[in-house]
Structures are given as structure tokens and as C-alpha cells.
Amino acid sequence: MRTPLRPLARVLQARQEGLNPDSIEKENLKLRHDALREKSRGRAQFRMLILCASFVMAFGTIGARMGLMAATEPTEPRARATGAEIIAQRADITDRNGRVLATNMATHALYAHPKDMVDPKGTAQKLAELFPELDAKALERRFTDGRRFVWIRKVLSPEQMQKVHEIGDPGLLFGPREMRLYPNGTLAAHILGGSSFGAEGVHSAEVIGVAGIEKAMDARLRDPAQGGKPLTLSIDLTLQSATEEVLASGMTMLNAKGATAILMDARTGEILTMASLPTFDPNDRPNPLADPNAEPGDSPLFNRAVQGVYELGSTFKIFATAQALELGLLQPDSMVDANAPMQWGRHRISEFEGKNYGPLLSVTDVIAKSSNVGTAHIALMIGALRQQAFLKSLGFFEPTSVELIEAPGARPLIPRRWPEIVTITASYGHGLSASPLHLAVAYAAIANGGVAIKPTLLKREGPTTGVRVMSETTAYESVRMLRRVVTEGTASLGEVPGYEVAGKTGTADKPKRTGGYYEDKVVNTFAAVFPASNPQYVLVVTLDEPQDDTLSQPRRTAGWTAVPVAAEIIRRVAPLMGLRPKLEPVVVDAVTAASN
Amino acid sequence: MRSVLYVLSFLALIALGFWAYRENYATQAALKEVEALQSQIVGLHEALTVQKAEWAYLNRPDRLRDLATANFDRLGLLPMEPSQFGTAAQVAYPRPKLPDISFTQDVRGTITGEAEGL
């Protein structure tokens, strides 16, 4: 109801009292304004409240949804536009022919909700019987101390899972797991490395690489964008298996502590086999050695091919002669001073067993006879700076770039200063250490006509390019010299009929931890290139502390240890690669008769 | 006129409601089927990976080598040797097909050579 501004009764009364009736109007107007203001204020407040509530509701909904999404387990979308692609969590690893080296298998993990358990004591007892590594008492304590959740085992085999089912306690639960499986066991163990679980939940767990290529290529293997496409390695399973077999029997026969072999395609840098013994099973990766004083090389986890940084001995001599040829200082038939022993300041450089091949020796014979003094004189002609630059271009100053997590850590040991005595010792592979893989890479440069290549464990498509480090003529002459080492030099046991093996032996005394060298402990290396007329492959075999006891006096030179092993590897592996021997094939009578 | 429109739109509403109801259930059914198919695919995929792993495990070189040794009497398998490479010249030509001579054939005429003493 609207109240009038000038109610007649009050106006009349005011007139009688002699008051101004306008004040009544003003008063009423004020009252009316007040009421209006009050009303609109209430309305505004109500609107604000509504607005506030809707904001709270909107943000609350979003927040609740976010919380819900974060808290719940992820599920597959129910409907998808494209074909449902169910991919493995981690990509497979295969060899170059697609044979599986690492794959995944669905298994289960075992966990417990002790609150739901009917008989914690009996269950603990039965579990301990089933899994010998579990302790019944400790398990029972964990089941009864009031916790709500207990992990029991990370991985169960289907048979074990059935047996746990048969225990039949409602508190025992299974979570699905994807397990990494290496079906070939110890084969190529050092390349593959191994894997374990990362972040773990009840319904799933991350599989992460812990060593080898599994760790180095972890991001690629877990990349969902790759769609589970397998990672194809350059390794050939058959070759790897044959190499490991021969190497293992060689290591046993020669009483060696360890052995390694690398077979590499000289043109592409693809590593076809890489074996390191002793080995381990990546399915059940052993723990690293706990003893801090133990040599890392004693652990089976140690990859000698990549991490084993040794003085590689006389295998280095070919780099000195190759550089001398490249610089035009010498020709293969030039004569150099090889009068042993050689005196250089306080140092005395002598030959193996105090021999003297001098006074003069041709460059080819320096390599064939493995003359330290001859190489020393060649190195002095080249000079320290040029020698360093050449060895650097062959990759001896940097860790190899192979796709293993261990590779960047295996830095070659280079002398800090490079006086002339280092120039001399480095020329025959003493005083600086590198891994067998470094050596394989450098020999590949000689084998492929003088181009430095990058080693790789991944299958390469198409040709590769590299930096030229020596001319084709130098490379060709160097391979011819290496061939002479096998035909009439220190590696005569390395001859494999039909495959024209060329190579260089190297025997280096093992350094003591306390300084100095062992008298009776050596590292023997044979770096081979084959076939010499058209070099395609490089093989480096290194034996750690071998000893040939077949004769009365133990023999420890590479020619008696690493060379025969390498020859046997080539004899086994070359036919498997389809490499045709350069032989007149044996004519079988029965076959020729039919052609008449 | 207006009441006819009302009735028509009401009927249309009922029809649309019925259609939406059916579509909803059809969608639910399709989703259920997709889910079932997907779980079937997952199951088959898992079986496939297990079988692939088993194939790789059974064909591991160590085992094949042992099997070749154990069955040497029957198979006679040895590691491949360089001498096993042959040349194309060693491959026999297929034998020329000889005509069938198991039956007699009539020959007419005179043998002149013999008559003339050649």
C-alpha cells in the first residue's frame, strides 16, 4: 500500500499548529526513500548471494571433478573414434632380424589387506612355505601390527599365483603387473642391461630400465607416440650366440678371468655382436658388488667391451705407421731404425723377450714383427702434436657414443702431459688406455677406407657418412700390412682359410692398483679386419689374464691366446653372415657326374 | 487451430522422447559391446605376447644348440662351415627327359647303310 506524501489529516493538524506542512512531505519522502533503499539493498544482497553461490557451485564442481580425476585410477575411454590400439607399456627390443631380445609379459603382484584377513598367522606360515625368501615371523608381525596394506611380492608366476589362490585368504590380493622378460637368458646381457619397477600402484607399475640400452633408450622405449614399435638393434642373435659360445670356451681353455669380443660392420659402425664374459641373467640381475675395495671388473655386471678401459698394447702400432704413410714420411717398404734396445733419456725401450729385429726394418716388418723400437722411431718422426691430433680423430680421447648408459662414463685414460716419452709409449699402446670398443672404431676407420664412423647398437638404414681421417691409399696399405701380421707375423694362428684375416696382436701388462705393472698378468688383444681384399668387418677380441698352459712354459702373448679365439670366432661367424670364402670349393664327384 | 498445433507438438514431443529413449539404450548397448570387444582384444593381445615370448624362449640359441646335440643321430646338424659354400657350377643341370622306350615301335623302310657296307 502506498502511503501519501501529504496525508490530509497531518497537513491540517500542522496548519492548525502553525507548522510548515512541507516538512511532513519531506519526512515522508525520506521515509519512502529509506524504504526503497532498504528494499534495493536487500535485493542486491540477495543477488550477490546467488552469484556467490553459483560461483561456489561452479568452482566447487570443477574442483571436485579435478580431485576425483586425480584420485581415481585411470581407465580407458569407453568409446573411441579410431580403432582401439592396445599397446604394451614398454616397447619390445628385437635383434636386426626381428628376433625378440626383450618383451613384456602380464603377471601379477601379490599384496595383502591384513584387516580383511581371516587367519593372519596361518597365511603367513603358508606364504613362507611357498616363497622361501619370506620369513614367516616377520610376515606375521606385519600382518598383525595394525597396518592396512602390505606388499608381499612384486612378481608372481602363474603357478605361484594359483598356489596363493589355494591358500584362500580373502586378505590376499593380486595386482596386474607387466613384467620385462628376456627370453634368451644371459645372451647379450650387457647390451640389454635390465629393468625393474619404478613407481608402483596396486593396479599398475612403471617398468624402468636400470642399465644398458634399457636405461639409455628408456624414453624411446616408454614413448607412447612410438605406438609400441619395437626397438631394432644392430645385434644379430645368431652371431651373438656363436660368438659367446666360442669366447666362453676360449676363456675356459686359456684360464682367463674375463673376455670380450666386438664384431662391427666397418662401413656403418653397426655392432653385430658384443660379448663380455663373465655374464649374468638380466631376468634376475645380480646386485653390484658391495665391497668398495673390489675391482669393478670382478662383477659380472661389468661390460668389458665398453667399460673395460685397458692399455691395448701393440694394436696401436698400426696407427703410427698409418699416420706416417698419410703424412708421406714413409712408404711401406721404407727402412726405419729398429736397433733394440733403444735408450731415450732415463728410459729403455726393448723388444719382446729382449730380441733385436734391427738394425733396420721395413715399415711393413715393423708391424709384422711388432717392433716397439721401430714404432718408437716412427712416432718420433711424426711428433707429439700430430700424433695426438690423429689419435683424437680416431676417437681415442672421448668416451664412445654407443647407446649404452655405461658408455659416457667409460672415459679413456689419457696422459695429462705429452712429452716425447709419451709419444714413444703411446705409439705402441702403453701409457694410455681405451676400451676395446674404441679400438674397434679405430680399426673400422682403417678397414672402410679411412672414414671415422660412430659405433651404434641400433640398426641403421642407408649409408652413413663420417669424417675422413686418412686417404684410401693409406687405409689400403695399412690393411695389407695387417694381413702380413697374419700370414708371416705374430698372429699366424689367426689364419682362417678363405677369409683373409688381417690384424694386429697386442699384449699389455696389467697395471697394479698401487702403481707399476704385474709380472704375470696381461691383457691380450687381437684386432682383426676381414676379408683383407675387401674389408667389411672388424673383430676385436680381448682376454683378461689368459695363460696357455699346453706347453711346459706358460705363454701369455696375444698370438697364443686372443688370436686363436678370434680365428675360431671368424670361422664360425663369417659363414653365418653369408660371407663367401675365397677358396676353390671342394669338388664333389657325385655332383659333377650329374652335369654330364 | 491453436489446439491442433498444441496436440501436434505434444505428439511430436512424445515421439521425440521415445526416439531419444531408444537411441540412449542403443548407445548403451553399443558401448557395452565395444567394451566387451576391447577386453577381448586385450585378452587376445596378452595371449599373443605370451606366445611370442614363449616362441622366443623356446627358440633361444642355447636350447636349439642343446637340441641339435641331443638329436645328432637323426639330424646330423653341425655349425655352418666355410666349406659349405658352393658355386653355381656345382649345381646339377636337370636331366634331359628321355622318351619312353618301354614299348616296341614299328619302323618301315630299308637300312641302306648296312646294304652298302658303310
Residue A37 has pLDDT above 90, yes or no: yes
- In sequence order, what are the beta bridge partners of A433? A311, A413
Cβ-based contacts of A582 with chain B (< 8 Å): none
pLDDT of residue A508: 85
Q: How far apart are CA B29 and CA A594, in angstroms?
A: 71
Q: Are residues A352 and A457 in the same domain?
A: yes
In a domain, A48, yes or no: no
Report the 10 Å Cβ neighbour count for A402: 26
Output the CA–CA distances (angstroms, integers) from residue A118 to A114, A122, A463, A516, in the order listed: 9, 9, 67, 68
When pLDDT is averaged across residues A332-353 and rounded to a whole number, the result is 82
* HEC sequence for B58-87: HCCHHHHHHHHHHCHHHHCCCCCCHHHCCC
Collapsed DSSP state (helix, strand, coil) of residue A277: strand
Contact A595 B93 (CB under 8 A): yes
Residues A97 and A243 in one domain: no
Strand partners, A348: A343
How far is the C-alpha of A202 from the C-alpha of A506, rounded, in Å? 55
Distance from CA of B103 to the nearest CA of A (A): 27
pLDDT of res. A84: 41
Nearest chain A CA: its distance from B31 CA (Å):
6
Please indicate, yes or no, if residue A208 is contained in any of the structural domains. Answer: yes
Q: In the structure, what pLDDT confidence band is assigned to residue B112 with cuts at 50, 70 and 90? A: low
- Strand A517-530 and strand A231-232: the pairing is unpaired
Whether residue A510 is contained in a domain is answered as yes
Cell, residue A3:
502511503
Chain A's closest residue to B41, CA to CA, is A86
Between A420-427 and A384-393, two packed helices, what is the crossing angle to 10 degrees? 40
Residue ending a domain, choose from A215, A232, A249: A232
Out of B31, B46, B79, closest to residue A572 by CB: B79
**Inter-chain CB proximity B53 and A100 less than 8 Å:** yes
pLDDT band at A436, cuts 50/70/90?
Answer: very high
**Residue of A85, A93, A100 for testing the chain B interface, max B β-carbons within 10 Å:** A100
Position A143, amino acid: F
Do A452 and A394 touch, CB atoms closer than 8 A? Answer: yes
Clarify whether residues A394 and A421 are in a common domain.
yes
Residue B49 with chain A: CB contacts under 8 Å = 88, 103-106
Query: Tens of pLDDT along A209-247?
Result: 888 899 998 888 888 777 678 899 999 999 999 999 999
DSSP string, A421-487: HHHHHHHTT-S-EE-HHHHHHHHHHHHTTSB----BSBPPPS-----B-S-HHHHHHHHHHHHHHHH
Q: What is the CATH number of the domain that holds A221?
A: 3.90.1310.10
> Is the CB of A100 less than 8 angstroms away from the CB of B86?
no
A106 Cβ under 8 Å from any chain B Cβ: yes
Give the chain A residue whose CA is nearest to the CA of B83.
A585
CA distance B63 to chain A (A): 9
> A176: closest CA among A196, A199, A205, A209?
A205
Report in angstroms the alpha-carbon separations of A93 from A195, A457, A472: 13, 11, 37
Q: What is the pLDDT of residue A351?
A: 81
**Domain end call among A232, A247, A267:** A232
Residue B53 touches partner A, C-beta closer than 8 Å? yes
Distance in Å, alpha carbon of A498 to nearest chain B alpha carbon? 8
Give the C-alpha distances (Å, rounded to integers) separating A337 from A318, A361, A363, A370, A553.
17, 7, 10, 14, 32
Residue A60: Cβ-neighbour burial (10 angstroms; 0-12, 13-18, 19+): exposed
Residue A85 pLDDT exceeds 60: no
- Report the percent of chain A where pLDDT is more than 70: 94
C-alpha cell at position A587: 669338388
Residues of chain B found within 8 Å of residue A181, distances taken between Cβ atoms: 53, 57
DSSP secondary structure code for residue A146 in this structure:
S
pLDDT of A83 > 50? The answer is: no
CA distance A11 to A429: 126
Per CB-CB distance under 8 Å, the chain B contacts of A594 are 92-93, 95
Q: Given A105, A572, A580, which is nearest B50 (Cβ)?
A: A105
pLDDT of residue A593: 42
Q: A591 vs A113, which has greater pLDDT?
A: A113
Residue at A541 is within a domain: yes
> Is the same domain home to A535 and A451?
yes
Percent of chain A with pLDDT over 90: 25
Pair (A215, A344) in one structural domain: no
Clarify whether residues A468 and A559 are in a common domain: yes
Are A127 and A270 in a shared domain?
no
pLDDT at B6: 95
CB–CB contact A241 B86 (8 Å): no
pLDDT of residue A56: 97
Looking at beta carbons, which residues of chain B come within 8 Å of A107? none
- Out of A8-12, A101-105, A509-513, which region has the weakest mean confidence (pLDDT)? A509-513
The reported pLDDT for the residue numbered A565 is 92
Q: How many CB pairs below 8 Å do chains A and B form together?
A: 96
Q: What pTM was estimated for this model as a whole?
A: 0.78
Residues A349, A424: contact at Cβ < 8 Å? yes
Peptide bond into A7 cis (omega under 30): no
Q: Quick check: is A58 in a domain?
A: no
Residue A16 lies in a domain: no
Same domain membership, residue A258 and residue A190: no
Q: Does A252 map to a domain?
A: yes
- Under 8 Å between Cβ of A407 and A293: no
What percent of chain B stands above pLDDT 90? Answer: 36
Give the SS3 label for residue A158. Answer: helix
Name the nearest CA neighbour of A171 among A110, A215, A129. A110
Q: With beta carbons under 8 A apart, name residues in chain B contacting A86.
A: 38, 41-42, 45
Same domain, A393 and A532: yes
Q: Do A219 and A350 share a domain, yes or no?
A: no
Residue A334 vs residue A87, higher pLDDT: A334
B29 reaches A (C-beta below 8 A): no
C-alpha pair distances (Å), A433 with each of A271, A289, A398, A491: 21, 24, 11, 22
Nearest CB to A583 within list B31, B82, B95: B82
Whether residues A225 and A273 fall in one domain: no
B66 in contact with A, Cβ within 8 Å: no
| Inter-chain residue contact A594 with B56, CB threshold 8 Å | no
Residues of chain A with Cβ-Cβ distance to B80 below 8 Å are: 572, 575-576
Determine the Cα–Cα distance for residues A207 and A154; give it in Å rounded to an integer.
12
pLDDT at B18: 97
Q: Which residue of A105, A108, A573, A579 is the best one to mutate when testing the B interface, meaning the one whose CB has the most B CBs within 10 A? A: A105
Ramachandran region of residue A493, left (φ > 0), alpha (ψ -120 to 50) or beta?
alpha
**φ and ψ at A272, to 5 degrees?**
-85, -40
Range of the domain at A204: 93-232
pLDDT tens digits, residue range A302-333? 888 888 888 888 899 999 999 999 998 888 88
Confidence of residue A130 (pLDDT cuts 50, 70, 90): confident
- Residues A150 and A245 occupy one common structural domain: no
Residues contacting residue A485 through CB under 8 Å, at least 6 positions apart? A367, A368, A370, A491, A502, A503, A504, A505
Average pLDDT over residues A515-519: 80
**Distance (Å, whole) CA A442 – CA A164:** 56
Of the pLDDT bands very low, low, confident and very high (cuts 50, 70, 90), residue A1 is low
What is the per-residue burial (b if ≥16 Cβ within 10 Å, else e) of A149-165? ebebbbbbeeebbebbe
Position A384: which residue type? A
Which CATH number fits the domain that encloses residue A421?
3.40.710.10
Amino acid at site A104: N
A359 part of a folded domain: yes
pLDDT confidence of residue A583: 65
Report how many domains make up chain A. 2
